Amino acid sequence: MIKNLFYTSLLLLLFTACGGTASTTDTIVLSSTDTAKEALGKALFSDTSLSLTRLQSCASCHNSTQAFIDTRDSGVGGAVSIGDDGVSLGTRNAPMVTYASFSPEFTQNRNGFVGGHFFDGRASNLTEQAKGPFLNSVEMQMPDAESVIARILENSEYVALFETLYGNDVFSDTTIAFEALANAIATFENASSFATFDSKLDNVNAGTETLTTEEALGQQLFRSNRCTTCHSNRGRNALFTNFRYENIGIPKNTIVLSLIGDQIDHGLLENSAVTDTAQDGKFKVPSLRNVAVSAPYMHNGKFQNLKTVIHFYNTRDVSGAINPESGTGWESSEISSNRIAGNRVGNLGLSDVEEDAIVAFLKTLTDARYESLIP
């Protein structure tokens, strides 16, 4: 099946590139935005045979039907993902993959660190990111790259495709083959289908829709409360992130830690390229596109509802403020040093109506294919 799909796709691409045409009655036709590497990457992304027990794939934690987030409960309300062994739990929430391709390479400039992938930027680009889950001791749990490539070599169709797309000597060195595997997945994640820019707000910007009164108020409050400092909305296809790192003072997720053992997540400081203690507790600022359908929230999945997130931003430092999900006061920050001060996060003075308006605005950032999933 895989062989027929890809060889047909490759032949079709070559044929049409030379001005030919093909019947769709007995072939699988790639769309105009697809490439052979994208198609290969898509298959690898969903292939469970590349995990230790052959039960988990990239798609297990990144569901295409919901912004490529992990939609499984995993016994912790989806806060973190369960591993290939069906028991182990991660320490961080699986981020959505939509719009991830726009993140610049991890680097440092005069304003601090920017870009990269994972919450601590330890993967400089999508290709490096794609390698991580295979070798992670909790996620896909493969012992080394050689073991992953051994699974590829079990499949003669894959072997032929890798050699066609990456050269006949691609399997001469494990490092080269593993790089090719990751490149194919990254090519798939770079496809235009991951970044459709067809939300209601996109339509508003194009002049084909209008915001409701509540949504318009939310947009105004989003700007006036300087949310755009981190979640930049510049440009017609704004990504609502500056790709930088911040500590907003999120509490520990005690539910997860009660199962995996108490520990502290130092965020950016966990990145081996970062030694500056001023980065302790900082995590990558996510894009807010599809935020309404990507619960739970924060790097550790601490909050289940978007309204709770806004209420936290609004009242983190307000005496007597209540976490609506627990019915108790806000817990102390996991790492209090370096966190954003109350004039930007923690005491914004918003009313309940204004919080709701911001939530309503954020819902307009949802891709058209996911709008039916908005709570």
Residue 341: band (very low, low, confident or very high) from pLDDT cuts 50, 70, 90: confident
Residue 344: band (very low, low, confident or very high) from pLDDT cuts 50, 70, 90: confident
Handedness of CA 230, 235, 238, 242 (dihedral sign): negative
- pLDDT, one tens digit per residue, over 151-186 is 999 999 999 999 999 999 999 999 999 999 999 999
- pLDDT, one tens digit per residue, over 182-219 is 999 999 999 999 999 999 999 999 999 999 999 999 99
Place of tokens 């918003």: 350
Mean pLDDT of the chain: 92
Q: Where along the chain do its domains lie?
A: 2-194, 200-373
Rounded Cα gap, residues 200 and 191, in angstroms: 21
Please report the pLDDT score of residue 11 as a whole number. Answer: 41
The answer to whether domain 2-194 and domain 200-373 are alike in fold is yes
Please report the pLDDT score of residue 72 as a whole number. Answer: 98
Rounded Cα gap, residues 345 and 317, in angstroms: 8
Please report the pLDDT score of residue 27 as a whole number. Answer: 32
CA distances from 289 to 103, 126, 302, 361, 375 (A): 13, 18, 19, 11, 15
- pLDDT, one tens digit per residue, over 59-109 is 999 999 999 999 999 999 999 999 999 999 999 999 999 999 999 999 999
Residue 21: band (very low, low, confident or very high) from pLDDT cuts 50, 70, 90: very low
Please report the pLDDT score of residue 235 as a whole number. Answer: 86
- pLDDT, one tens digit per residue, over 285-339 is 999 999 999 999 999 999 999 999 999 999 999 999 999 999 999 999 999 999 9
Residue 313: exposure state from Cβ atoms within 10 A (0-12, 13-18, ≥19): buried
Give the count of beta carbons closer than 10 Å to the beta carbon of residue 281. 26
Length of the chain: 375
Please report the pLDDT score of residue 123 as a whole number. Answer: 98
CATH number for the segment(s) 2-194: 1.10.760.10
Read off the pLDDT of each residue in 134-143 and give the average, rounded to a whole number.
Answer: 98
Residue 342: band (very low, low, confident or very high) from pLDDT cuts 50, 70, 90: confident
Phi and psi at 266, nearest 5°, equal -90, 5
> With pLDDT > 70 as the criterion, what percentage of the chain qualifies?
91
- What are 275's two structure tokens? 């030694």
Reference 373, options 21, 67, 12; nearest CA is: 67
Rounded Cα gap, residues 221 and 224, in angstroms: 5
CA distances from 184 to 8, 38, 55, 177, 293 (A): 18, 6, 21, 11, 27
Read off the pLDDT of each residue in 129-148 and give the average, rounded to a whole number.
Answer: 98
Reported CATH class of domain 200-373: mainly alpha
> With pLDDT > 90 as the criterion, what percentage of the chain qualifies?
88
Please report the pLDDT score of residue 309 as a whole number. Answer: 98
Residue 25: band (very low, low, confident or very high) from pLDDT cuts 50, 70, 90: very low
